[in-house]
Structures are given as structure tokens and as C-alpha cells.
Amino acid sequence: MIEEVVSAHLPVGETLRIQKNRIEGAEPKKRRLAIVTGTHGDELEGQYVAWQLARVLKKRQPLLRGTVDIYPALNPLGISTIYRGLPGFDLDMNRIFPGSSEETMYEYIAGGIIEDIAGADLCIDIHASNIFLREIPQVRINEQSAEMLLPLAKFLNMNFLWVHSAATVLESTLAYSLNSLGTPTLVVEMGVGMRITKSYGDQLITGILSVMSQLFMLEEPCPPVAPPIVSTDGNVAFVNANASGIFIPRVRHEERVEEGQLLGLIADPLSGGVREELHSPASGLIFTLREYPVVNEGSLIARILGGAL
């Protein structure tokens, strides 16, 4: 059933509506799972998950216990205009939560979204990377919420669980706001902006079904999932460019590398020269790799998960 979450009138005479797809099984009020995506208009990996998960759950509806709410587009104007933030504003939607009913239109929308999701047994907030970086399927968790979230996150079928330090947490995100309200919320990052990686989406859907079994929302055996790597900030090495130019990779995403191995070059198309050679600072797994070739000094090139060999 398609339901309206919150709406607001636009200056052009149209209406901005946030909608969800509610799928109910037996005892619909006993458990509730929220699947959220589309906060950033250039992150499309969650669109496939929302579409395919709805199809999968409708086939399993006789086995479903509780309610699944799928929110495919928290920022529908951003998705339709291929704009990462909120169109008309130089603003990231994931920096205005928990919102307010007494402030701007978008803060009113954010407040309505929070009010609708709050109280769910679990929320899964799906993001892709931006257009510049490709990420392996992973869950990012604030260390303040790690004790509550890690047990369920391990069933989500993601390759990597990254527990962030509290110092790097952004308090105005949807996930932080919901976790602060007592609604457990997992943040998934995978793939790259403006693309859909079907294999990653299918991997996550298997994980969602597995988590639902753990929450007693599906009357069927829990799908088998691979145990993820669990790591903290101390196990992650960053590689940044020290020169501007065109990044030419010499490794593949998800490849395991040795300390000192050549990761890529920063080329100078004008002279035909090489401005910089980039080497791995640690042995481990490349879980983030530069996708967009143009780089400037300071651009993130890769993240290496050390000790994963």
C-alpha cells in the first residue's frame, strides 16, 4: 500500500510528497522494519534495492510477520534532477535532521520523516558513494551505538562493518537522530554515485531477509550470510593525492595489496609525464577506490583496510 509520509506545497503550485510502500504481514503492529534511501539525489544503488525488495516481500507475504515500510526517495526532487543535495538550496539533506515543524520547508519535511520512522524495531538507511569513489558493501556505525547495532549488522551480509569514532560523527544525520531517539538505525554504503550495481543490491537484499528472520519477521530459515570484517578507525589507512591531474589506477577495487605496492599514477596529459606515483601505506583490502579520474591535491584516492590479508 502506497502511503504519504509528509508533504509540503511548492512555490510553483505543485506539492512535494514523501511516500512509502507499506507491506504488512500477520500481526502488523508487532514488528516494524524501515528501509530508507534516496536522501542524496545522485545515490541510486538504493533504488534497485527498494524495487526488488518490494517484489521479494510480496512473494513472501504469507510468511511475513509485522510490517515493512520502504521509503525509496526521501529527496525525490534531487533524484529527478540528478542533484545530490536539495534543489534550489546549497544544502545536504542528511545535515538537517531531526528537522522542525517551525522552520523551513525542508526542515518540516525532515521532521515528518523522523516522526514516521521513529519507533520502528530497525531502520536500514541505504547510501551509495558519490560519483568520485567506489565502495564495497559496508555498514558504518557510530561507536556510541556499536553495542546496540553490531549484533544485527553482522547478519546484513555486508563485507565490512566500520565502527567510527565518536569524534567523526555528524549529529544532524538521519541515522544519528533516529539512534538518539532509540530507533536502531544501520547505515549502508555501497557502490558508486549515479550507478546501480545489481550484485551489491542482491547481496543486501539477502542480508535484509536474514535480519528479518533474526527479528522473527519471516517464518522461514535465516538465509546464510558470510561473516563480515569488523574494524575500527585504527585499521583504516587513507591515500590522498599530493598533486593534481588524471588518476590512472594500477589496482582493482576490492583487490588485496601489499604495503608499498603501486596503487596508481597521477598523469599530466599536457606533458605526458607522471606527477605522482601512489603506493599503499599498508597491506590489506582496497575497500574504497577513486572512480572519477580527475583529482586535485588532497583528493581521496583509496582507503585500505589493514590486516585483512
**Secondary structure of residue 166 in the 3-state scheme:** helix
Q: Which of 210, 229, 221 is nearest to 156 (CA)?
A: 210
pTM of the predicted protein model? 0.94
Q: pLDDT, tens digit, for every residue of 54-66? A: 999 999 999 999 9
Q: Which of 242, 252, 256 is nearest to 291 (CA)?
A: 252
Q: pLDDT, tens digit, for every residue of 258-297? A: 999 999 999 999 999 999 999 999 999 999 999 999 999 9
Mean pLDDT of the chain: 94
Q: pLDDT, tens digit, for every residue of 1-46? A: 999 999 999 988 899 999 999 999 999 999 999 999 999 999 999 9
Give the model's pLDDT for residue 89. 83
Residue 88: band (very low, low, confident or very high) from pLDDT cuts 50, 70, 90: confident
Give the model's pLDDT for residue 12. 84
Q: pLDDT, tens digit, for every residue of 111-144? A: 999 999 999 999 999 999 999 999 999 999 988 8
Give the model's pLDDT for residue 168. 58
In the sheet where 245-249 sits, what is the strand order? 273-279, 262-268, 245-249, 294-295
CA neighbours within 13 Å on the CB side: how many for 91?
A: 17
Residue 307: band (very low, low, confident or very high) from pLDDT cuts 50, 70, 90: low
The CA radius of gyration of the chain, in Å to the nearest whole number, is 20
Per-residue pLDDT, averaged over 157-172, amounts to 82
Per-residue pLDDT, averaged over 77-86, amounts to 94
Is residue 233 pLDDT above 60, yes or no? Answer: yes
Which residue shows C-alpha cell 512555490?
11
Give the model's pLDDT for residue 169. 62
The answer to whether 180 and 31 are in contact (CB under 8 A) is no
Q: pLDDT, tens digit, for every residue of 169-212? A: 678 999 999 999 999 999 999 999 999 999 999 999 999 999 99
Residues 6+ apart with CB under 8 A from 6: 17, 18, 108, 109, 111, 112, 113, 115, 116
Cβ atoms within 10 A of the Cβ of 234, count?
9
Tell me how far apart the alpha carbons of residues 188 and 95 are, in angstroms, rounded to a whole number: 17
Is residue 309 pLDDT above 60, yes or no? Answer: no
Per-residue pLDDT, averaged over 67-90, amounts to 94
Give the model's pLDDT for residue 232. 79
